[in-house]
Each structure stands twice: as structure tokens, then as C-alpha cells.
Amino acid sequence: MIIVGGSSSRDLAKEMASILDCTYIQAASTKFPDGECYTRIDTESLDDDVVIVQNTYPNDNLIEMFLLQDAVRRLGAKSVTLVVPYFGYARQDRVFKPGEPESAKVMCRHLNMGCDRIITIDIHKEVVLDNFDCPHTDLKAAPVIADYFRDKKIDLVLSPDIGAAGRAKEVGERMGVPYDHLEKTRLSGTDVRIAPAKMDCTGKRVLIVDDMISTGGTIIAAASALREAGAVSVSVACTHGVFVNNAIERLTGSALDTVLCCNTLENEVSHISVAGIIADAVRKG
């Protein structure tokens, strides 16, 4: 087996190769003066099963993935598995107005042309993967998040809303601590109370878990409300740290004590590794 790392997932790909004790090749990627993507895999042949590790977000990384698929096929890969830690366009899975594309399906169709299997992590909606003709697996990061915080003396695990309550349940049960979801209650035309639906957070060390943080506004408001309600500390961990518009700076400067994410998107707070669960999935075939 050979692991090929794309430019978006260098550290994750290297760690996977180390766990699997297999060959690692870092693809060279750059841009032409006009902004077009150039990539090359510096080897004479890939006469083996190949795993490409590369995000499809933002757009440049998506183009790079398409090019890498073609490159490994040309080098003689026996099979091609795509590991897409963060699947771009997965949230655009429905058509709301006439004239809109079903973007998630479009991406699946194009990626499908050059792969034999695909592995994702906490994709926004798992049903999106049904657009692939090849075998597909969506891995869950909740266990690795729970294991990371197991010795951090967390008393209560919360999700930002009832829609993500299942994630809080999975993390809480694995850690052996209570779990709940946050609930917004409108007190007046301008005032909204944010608090756990059932549990009391007074005197507790709280961990908020979610699949993704983008702007961070909801998490910042929740952390402030929890501290005002008596929480001793508030930490947040997500699978995908998208962090747009200086979100990391705003999150770390808020009422939060700890801000962490998995290394599906590599950044300064992506200290929770999903390499182990991906390696296990690749090994099982």
C-alpha cells in the first residue's frame, strides 16, 4: 500500500502511513502564474494499492484531488482509495430554487470517476455518499474526541442544539459523564436565554461538541451563557475547524477555556488526530 498526501492533509497522511507502516509519498503541488493548479507525484511507478489523502475544500484542493486521481492511475495504481477528511460542498445537498445545481451530487459524480473506494469523516449528511457507485464509509470522530478529553476532568458534555444531541450522547457515554443539549428560550423580543435543556451546569467543567465550527458565533454565545450560569470552565471541540473570518482569534478571546478540533482541516488548534480511525478503516478494506 502507498499513501499519497495532498497539499491539504500532509501531516494526517504522514501519520496514517506511519500507523500502517507503508510507503508515503508527498505530492508536489504549486500554481502556475495564472492561478491554475499543478501537481506531480515524484515516482516512476505506483504498482500497488494507493490511498490519496486530500480535502475537497476549498476549491483549489478539489481541483488538486481530481488531478491526483488521474496521476496515480497513469502511474499504474492497482486500486485507488480516496480519504477525504473534509468533504467540500456536502452541505449543498438539496435544490431549493429553480436553476440551482445539486452541488454535493455533482462533486460525488466527478470524484467517482477516478476511485474504487471513498472514506470521509463526519460528512454533513451521510446520504450524500450514496451518489458514489463505489463502496463508501463515513467515520465518526466522536470516539477520538472523547478519548482526548477523557483525562481532562470534564463533568458535562453538551451539543449546541438538539440536532447534534446524538454526538454529545456518544462522547458523554464514552467518557462516562452526563450529556445534554443546549436550548434557546426567548425571554422577550430582544433577550434569549441559552442553557442546558435538563442538566445544571453550575460548578461544572463543560465540553461543547459539534461536527463543525465556521464563524464560531453560536459557540461564543453559548460559552458566555454557560459561564454566566455558573460553569467553572467551558471547552469546545469539533471535527471540522473551518474557522472563517478570524474565528479562531474570536473563539480564543471569548469565554472559552479551550478550543480544539480534529486534524481533518489542519490549523493551529487541530490537535485531535483521526489518523488512527482512518488507518483502521483502510486496513480493513
Distance CA 54, CA 65 (A): 6
Q: Which of 121, 166, 167 is nearest to 146 (CA)?
A: 167
Q: The cell 487541530 sits on which residue? A: 270
Catalytic residue among 105, 169, 184, 284: 184
Question: What is the amino acid identity at position 46?
Answer: L
284 is catalytic: no
Cell of 69: 486521481
Query: Is the bond leading into 135 cis (omega within 30 degrees of zero)?
Result: no
Distance CA 172, CA 145 (A): 10
Residues identified as active-site: 184
